[in-house]
Structure 1
Amino acid sequence: MGCGVVISGCAIASAIVTARIVAGVITVPSARSLQHWSSSLLLLSGLWMVRTLTQGLQARLSQRGASAVIADLSADVLRAVTARDPRDLAAQRDAAATVVTHGLDRLRPYFTSYLPAVLLAAILTPATAAVITAYDLKSAAIVAITLPLIPVFMVLIGVATANRSAAALEAMTTLQSRLLDLMAGIPTLRALGRVSGPEHRIAELSAAHHRSAMATLRIAFLSALVLELLATLGVALIAVTIGLRLVFAQISLTTGLTVLLLAPDVYWPLRRVGVEFHAAQDGKAAANKAFRLIGEPASAAPHKARVVSARGAQIRIEKLKIAGREGYSPCDLTAVIEPGHVTVLTGPNGAGKSTTLQAIAGLTVPASGRITVAGIDIAELNPTAWWRQLSWLPQRPVLLPGTIADNLALFGDLQNMEMACAASGFDVVLQQLPDGPHTVVGRGGVGLSLGERQRLGLARALGSPAPVLLLDEPTAHLDARTEARVLQAIVARAREGATVVVVAHRRDVMAIGDRVVEVTADHDVLL
């Protein structure tokens, strides 16, 4: 705002000084020497220099502010999305990825171009109009008639542009998610001979995004043409009236030149706002989606400071209900999970077995019922302290780009890496890899088969010193020989005193359970 005031003052002052110099040179023959106008020219140069430096400072401040806001907003989106229920996280993953990776970068034109233009229009336009009014009322009347037309057309065109920008962002989100899924599945598609299948769908999505982007550009060019035409006509009307009045000696040359030099500064800020508006709409659309992902600000939650030792502690599940899209999954689940035993959760698909593990981990909030550890409700426990005591193996183990060793130690150092790899059968995989534990894998474990990824996740889980093991389908994608070795390792961990909860469908896995709990759902209740 301060830079806008300085820029406006310099623009008005330089127009007045320039008009006086030009009018004096034309009307006063004795004042045509450079020495006569040296002080005025020095003042004019100083005004131009101050205006240039101030514009540079404003650009620097806007860039710094844009970077800070984009970084803070991206962090807020990541913090809000990753703190949600894992089921909600899976649904919002693609939208969050688009917003964070490049969607919010489009906010930069909003801060670097659009916002300075708005501030300049709020200061320079009324200030220039006031100076014109002080010099010439007739020119001020023309400004008062033509100037409101620009905001009216800006609003009319801006509504259409906002809708187009939102549609373009949605198309980009869909295209990006499809492309990411396709790239992740290329090895599988190649193995099945279906590499050429999805290319038609990708081409259709690309064409849809192209049409949406071109429609937005057409509106942007049309609006720029309309705004330029209105501003040009406004300045032309002022110039024609001043010229005619100069011919009939109804206005002085100094006044006429001053008004004529100030006239463009009345329309130019509004024209710039209209032009920069389109560049800012993509960023605003991304920001609106970011705010929707962040959601309403939650009230300050009470500080959860209770800490309990899970080693040797009994975990009780009492009438647990967790709301899903089709009802409660699980519904009225009651179970006692004893340390030193293997507890197997079984039931039909969609019954809520994996959701129960998430509830034990404190990641999912029950609709009713509760889970206690040594008599203390999990909702009252300090999350960080509780998570340090868990070793959780989801259906898809988390694997990050990097080396095998980095992924094995992702959640902390293993007690005995060689023993953990041997227990899961991953030692055989390491012997076959060219660089052993230093072999680099891609996102999600690209470079390893599904069975090898499962063995890696198992090695990490079984090698953890955590007293509670939550294993979701631990023997999926494994051959019978490796499965037997893994089940033996799971039982051994339980006999050492660990609390082991296993989700299973297969009889061989259920057979190792000291207690088998049937998990049921109630899908008749629609939420």
Structure 2
Amino acid sequence: MNFRKKSVKPDKKIIDEIKPVKNKFIFILVTGLSASAFTLLSAFILSRVINNVFLNNAGLSDVFSLLIIFLIFTAAKSLLVWLQNYFAVELTASIKVQLRNKILLKLEESGPENINSERTGEITNTLLKGVDKLDDYLGKFLPQLFLSALIPILILIFVFPIDLLTGIVFIVTAPIIPLFMFLIGSAAEKKNKKQWHTLSRMNAYFFDVLQGIVTLKLFNRTKDVLIKIEKISDVFRIKTLAVLKIAFISSLVLEVASTLSVAVIAVEIGLRLLYSDFPFVNALFILIIAPEFYLPMRMLGASYHAGMEGVAAFERVADLISDKTKSEITNSNLSYDYNSAANKSIEFRNIYYSYPGSEKEVLKDISFKAEQNTITAFVGESGAGKSTVMKLLLRFIEPKKGKILIGDYDLTSIDAKSWRNNISWLPQNPHLFSGTILDNIKIADSNADFDSVIEAAKNAQIHNFIMSLPKGYNTEIGENGAKLSGGERQRVALARAYLRNSPIIIADEPTSNLDLFVEHEIMNDMYKLFADKTVILIAHRLHTIEKADSIIVMRNGEIIDTGSHSELLKRKGYYKELIEAGNA
């Protein structure tokens, strides 16, 4: 019969995660093994006490010293068990923190493009529940896997000098429990994986529904969604019950196998007491420790199913921290400070780009140069490639062909984090975190003092509004600034840019979702920010681009015209068509 060995073999990737905290894992094994040793010593003492009292008519004074030793051994065992459990909790906590940090660092390294290809709900489920599922595997199953081999060997070392026959019976009956566990467990592993994948998809769908609840209500689709949620939940219920069914059957089989094995030992000992001169004290000692011989394997079986849930969850964790989510960004160590550089121009030289998995070139032979302290605006219809240019500048992606030069340096040779320290980004939809207004502004500079934050807010024309709130800068704004209007959210983003005070500003249609009046006000404030800075601006309305020093007109991933606002209008080309259509 072929059952899957990998079901119980420790996952190499999980073992790799244990290596940084291997001392704790070793201590768990040592305390577990030592606790078992004290159990054996306690049983040895107890069998002598009972033998002396009941067969040799010894009094309390005769066995008092043995009872004291028994109590000391029992207390030592209890302390060791407590230490084992304590360090198991410490081990799992350390590894979970370690894994979550790795996932977050990998997501940061892989960039927005890779993250956007994943379902947010699945990532969240993996980061929280997925990592938590490793508790039982790391804290119980994995140590027990080692102890279930070590403790029976320790018991055999005690038993063989006392009674060779019982030792042989132990060896013969020992494989019964692992055999049943593996046979049942191989089926459970598949069902655990299916259950985990269903849970991940269900969480991802719930997350999508919560994000789109307004749209669903507007289109009166909530009833359809509820029906789908009911179906998904029912599938998860069925798969969970299938796992539990195997777990209950497994527990029953393991208990029966353990009980029968102990019964065999008891019958063998009883018969020898009746028909031979086998010493009662040795027989009693063996009967006391017989359940302890099978206990580690029973505990391994009890933690097996929970451990396999952890393995199923870890597969997704391993995917997130593996090279499958590797960023296309080249690692580089060159630190860069734009302010201290002699040549501060930004130049695209014959840039081509196509997104992963697609052969379509979204940028074709793009070449332009943005000089220091100038405003370079990009215009064009949706899909022209403007946002791709921004992503290249932010080093979220890298060109397939061509070079991006920052002064005398190739952008790919500059450390991505170091490069971004020179940039303030004003996106179309700035993300505000659940927390206070103060926290959200200070994301731009966590070390900024309160006076600097106030100055930035005043420059962004939002200070008076903030002070009108009951808690001022300590006002909670909800998830993604839910308690603020679109204009107020954009002004918080503008305050971030003022606080960061970077020499380069990249603005990707920062006012496209605002009404004309609010947009006009915010753009005036933005142009104050743009003073003495190198600005790359994507725009779609006339008054946001007419002040630009250079306007680059894009169409179908290509640059088709370049010039100032007045120069482009005189040419009566595609730019003029966009302006007249109000779709620049």
Q: TM-score, normalised by structure 2?
A: 0.79
Structure 2 counterparts to residues 367-516 of structure 1, below 5 A: 367-412=400-445, 413=452, 416-417=455-456, 420-422=459-461, 439-450=475-486, 452-458=488-494, 460-461=496-497, 465-491=501-527, 493-494=529-530, 496-505=531-540, 509=544, 513=548, 514-516=550-552
The code of the aligned residue for 2:286 comes to V
Retained in 1: the 8 A contact 2:433–2:481? yes
Partner of 2:297: 270
CA contact (8 A) 2:438 2:474 kept: yes
Cα RMSD, aligned residues only: 3.2
Distance 1:265 1:430, change over 3 A: closer
Residue 476 of structure 1, CA deviation: 1.7
Conserved in 2, the CA contact under 8 Å of 1:333 and 1:519? Answer: no
> Which of 26, 31, 40 does residue 3 from structure 1 map onto?
31
Q: Which amino acid aligns with 1:481?
A: F
1:20-99 matched pairs, under 5 angstroms:
20-28=48-56, 31-92=57-118, 93-99=120-126
Measured in 1, the distance between the counterparts of 2:474 and 2:46 equals: 72
Distance 1:453 1:292 in 2: 35
Find the residue that maps to 2:200 and give its secondary structure: helix
Distance 2:61 2:200 in 1: 65
Asked if residue 305 in structure 1 is aligned to residue 335 in structure 2, the reply is yes
Cα separation, partners in 2 of 1:180 and 1:352, compared to 1, 3 Å: same
Partner of 1:332: 365
Measure how far apart 1:187 and its partner are: 4.8
Query: 1-side partners of 2:247 and 2:305: how far apart?
Result: 6
Q: CA offset at residue 176 of structure 1? A: 2.6
Aligned pair in 2 of structure 1 residues 315, 385: CA closer, same or farther (>3 Å)? same
How much has 1:366 moved relative to structure 2? 2.9
Q: Could you list the runs of 5+ residues in structure 1 that have no partner in the other structure?
A: 523-527
* Paired letter, 1:56: W
Please state how far the C-alpha of 1:231 moved relative to its aligned partner.
Answer: 1.0
Q: Counterparts in 2 of 1:133-148, with a 5 A limit?
A: 133-148=160-175
CA distance in 2 between partners of 1:302 and 1:108 (Å): 37
1:181, distance to aligned residue in structure 2 (A): 3.4
CA contact (8 A) 1:415 1:463 kept: no
Where in structure 2 are the equivalents of 1:243-258 lying within 5 Å? Answer: 243-249=270-276, 251-258=278-285
1:315 to 2:351 alignment: no
Is the aligned partner of 1:360 residue 2:393? yes
**Partners of 2:398 and 2:454 in 1: CA distance:** 32
Query: In 2, Cα distance between the equivalents of 1:462 and 1:3?
Result: 57
Residues 1:343 and 2:376 aligned together: yes
SS at match of 2:61: coil
CA contact (8 A) 1:81 1:96 kept: no
**Local SS of the residue matching 2:351:** strand
Q: 1:442 to 1:190 in 2, by over 3 A?
A: farther
- Decide whether aligned partners of structure 1 residues 333 and 159 sit closer, same or farther in structure 2, where only a CA change above 3 A counts: farther
Q: 2:309 aligns with which of 262, 282, 293?
A: 282
Distance 2:175 2:422 in 1: 66
Cα–Cα, structure 1 residues 421 and 185, in superposed 2: closer, same or farther, change >3 Å? farther
Task: Give the number of equivalent residue pairs.
Answer: 516
Change (3 A) 1:437 1:137: closer
Amino acid at match of 1:466: S
Q: Letter of the aligned partner of 2:338 in structure 1?
A: V
1:248 shift after superposition: 1.5
1:330, 1:521 within 8 Å by CA — same for their partners in 2?
A: yes
1:173 pairs with 180, 190, 200, which one? 200
Q: In structure 2, how many angstroms separate the alpha carbons of the residues matched to 1:164 and 1:452?
A: 50
1:330–1:353 CA contact under 8 A, matched in 2 = no
Q: 2:253 is matched with which residue?
A: 226
How big is the shift at 1:348? 5.2
C-alpha distance in 1, partners of 2:136/2:155? 26
Conserved 8 A contact 1:320-1:334: yes
* Residues 45-54 or 481-490, more deviating: 481-490
Relative to 1, partners in 2 of residues 1:320 and 1:395: Cα closer, same or farther, differing over 3 Å?
A: same
Tell me, in whole angstroms, the C-alpha distance in 2 between the residues paired with 1:516 and 1:272: 70
Moved more, 147-156 or 499-508: 499-508
**Corresponding letter in the other structure for 1:308:** Y
The Cα shift of 1:429 comes to 7.1
Q: 1 CA distance for matches of 2:222 and 2:60?
A: 77
Q: State TM-score, norm by structure 1.
A: 0.87
Residue identity matched to 2:411: I
Secondary structure in structure 2 of the residue aligned to 1:478: coil
SS in 2 for 1:286: helix
With over 3 angstroms needed to count, the CA separation of the structure-2 counterparts of 1:352 and 1:201, relative to structure 1, is farther
Give the 3-state SS of the residue equivalent to 2:89 in structure 1. helix
CA shift, 1:498, in A, is 2.1
More divergent stretch after superposition (293-302 vs 313-322): 293-302
> How far is the alpha carbon of 1:194 from its aligned partner?
5.2
* One-letter amino acid matched to 1:320: I
- Gap change, CA 1:207 and 1:441, over 3 Å in 2: farther
- Contact preservation (8 Å) 1:321, 1:368: yes
Deviations along 1:33-63, whole A, 9 cap, x unmatched? 2222222222222221111111111111211
For structure 2, the 5+ residue unaligned runs are 1-28, 446-451, 559-584
When residues 46 and 418 of structure 1 are mapped into structure 2, their CA distance, relative to the original with a 3 A threshold, is: closer
Q: CA deviation at 1:315?
A: 0.4
Give the Cα–Cα distance (whole angstroms) in 1 for the partners of residues 187 and 382 of structure 2: 46
Identical pairs, percent:
27
> For 1:235-279, what per-residue CA distance to the aligned partner results, in whole angstroms no more than 9, with x for missing partners?
111111222222222533223222222221221101101111222
Residues 456/519 of structure 1: CA separation in 2 closer, same or farther (3 Å cut): farther
Task: Measure, in 2, the Cα distance between the counterparts of 1:438 and 1:50.
Answer: 53
Query: Relative contact order (alpha carbons < 8 A, sep ≥ 6): 1 or 2 greater?
Result: 1
Q: CA deviation at 1:88?
A: 0.7
| AA in 2 matched with 1:393 | L
Are the counterparts in 2 of residues 419 and 463 from structure 1 also a CA contact under 8 Å?
A: no
Contact 1:329 / 1:520 at 8 angstroms: preserved in 2?
Answer: yes
Change (3 A) 1:400 1:157: same
3-state DSSP of counterpart to 1:222: helix
| Secondary structure at 1:441 match in 2 | coil
Secondary structure of residue in 2 paired with 1:363: coil
Q: Measured at CA, do residues 165 and 34 of structure 1 come closer, stay the same or move farther in structure 2, by a change above 3 Å?
A: same
Q: CA deviation at 1:316?
A: 0.4
- State the SS of the aligned residue for 1:84: helix
